[in-house]
Amino acid sequence: MKRSFLFLMMAFLVASCDEGGGTANHNNANSNGNANGNANANANTNANTNANTNGNGNANNNNTTPVCGDGVMDAGEECDEPDFGSATCETNGFAGGTLSCTDCTIDTSTCGDSQVEIVCNRWNSDRADISEGTWSGDVATCTTGDISAQGRANALKLINLYRWLVDLPPVTTDPINDQRAQECALIMTANGSLSHHPPTTWDCYSTDGDLAAGWSNIASAPGVQAVDGYILDPGPGNHAAMGHRRLILSNTFGPTGLGSTDSYSCMWTMGSGSAGKQWTAWPGDGVLPLEAVSPLPWWSLDETGWTVQSDSIDLSTATVSITMDGSVDRPVTVLQLVQGAGSSWAISMTPDGWTTEAGHTYHVEISNISTPITYDVIVDACN
């Protein structure tokens, strides 16, 4: 039996930040937080303007009291995320991947020596802790409260995991948008319902919560679980747009704001990002963990459909061909999605009589458009 799980999203037009070109590649991981090797605005996330580094990647500065967690690598620290000095997975003896930082000590568990290993290590590491955190608010007194730091961090971690898998830069949260989203979550919780335009008569109504409701993905689920739900984007009300997924995987997404109670959540989607990708597919070009096909037990990507979105390529006349392992036809039902919901154009491709399987490569060709799109989805079981 499938669990009732509701999503609403605000569809809005986004200006194209595309600069042309830019076909996705095969998860050629680097150590700057991106799954693939394409340059983007966040490619130098390990730059540190506050400290000079020596040949070993350790900081030399005048801070007399190092503070772990301030984002600046001080003397005696191996890292202070996002600051890793000159250290990378490669300088630690791996072929690629993304370094992690635990208690200001370098963690190489997300590095690897093959693309499958790199992707699976990142997938398993980022999903090792998907706890929701604790909400400090109260519906009875309309106290907004906040979700505990770990809950918000885990939700953001999953957002950036999905973006990394399709070669999009990571995003951050904005404290103002976090607060707005938290007030939005309180409104939804207090009324046991979802609305992008909550009436002023609703319990615990606030203007900031109303604002966030209009510019957010909203879900009848806490914040961490909602991320997987948005990427799957199930339900007949979402089928025509797949807007939750498209917004998270858009060029303009971020900074975001994340608010959650123990039963409802809001994710601010009105962003100012400029990733500039010509097109983005989910699942994307390269290695796909089989577990990403059904990250929640109630739905599957094979039911909700694969998608391709673009801000610069008109996909309204697109035709699609998918073959498995170079020869086996995999028919799909193609649907033109509502324009402007996270991208100017988008299509969904729902498997017709087949399911995504590990150990196979799915070659996708999208033609009858100005710039044909081709890519390979390489499915591997990570657990």
Are 36 and 165 within 8 A, CB to CB?
no
Contacts of residue 207, defined as CB under 8 A and 6 or more positions apart, other chains included, come to none
Are 255 and 176 within 8 A, CB to CB?
no
CA atoms within 13 A on the CB side of 353: 3
What tens digit of pLDDT does each residue of 27-71 get? 333 333 333 333 333 333 333 333 333 333 444 444 457 789 888
Per-residue pLDDT of the chain (383 residues; tens, 9 = 90+): 333 345 554 332 222 233 333 333 333 333 333 333 333 333 333 333 333 333 334 444 444 577 898 889 898 898 988 889 989 888 887 877 888 888 899 988 778 778 999 999 999 999 999 999 999 999 999 999 999 999 999 999 999 999 999 999 999 999 999 999 999 999 999 999 999 999 999 999 999 999 999 999 999 999 999 999 999 999 999 999 999 999 999 999 999 999 999 999 999 999 899 999 999 999 999 999 999 999 999 999 999 999 999 999 999 999 999 999 999 999 999 999 999 999 999 999 999 999 999 999 999 999 999 999 999 999 999 98
In whole angstroms, how far apart are CA 283 and each of 114, 231, 267, 336, 338? 19, 10, 22, 17, 19
What tens digit of pLDDT does each residue of 299-351 get? 999 999 999 999 999 999 999 999 999 999 999 999 999 999 999 999 999 99
- pTM value? 0.79
CA distance 25 to 286: 7
Tell me if the bond preceding 66 is cis, omega within 30° of 0: no
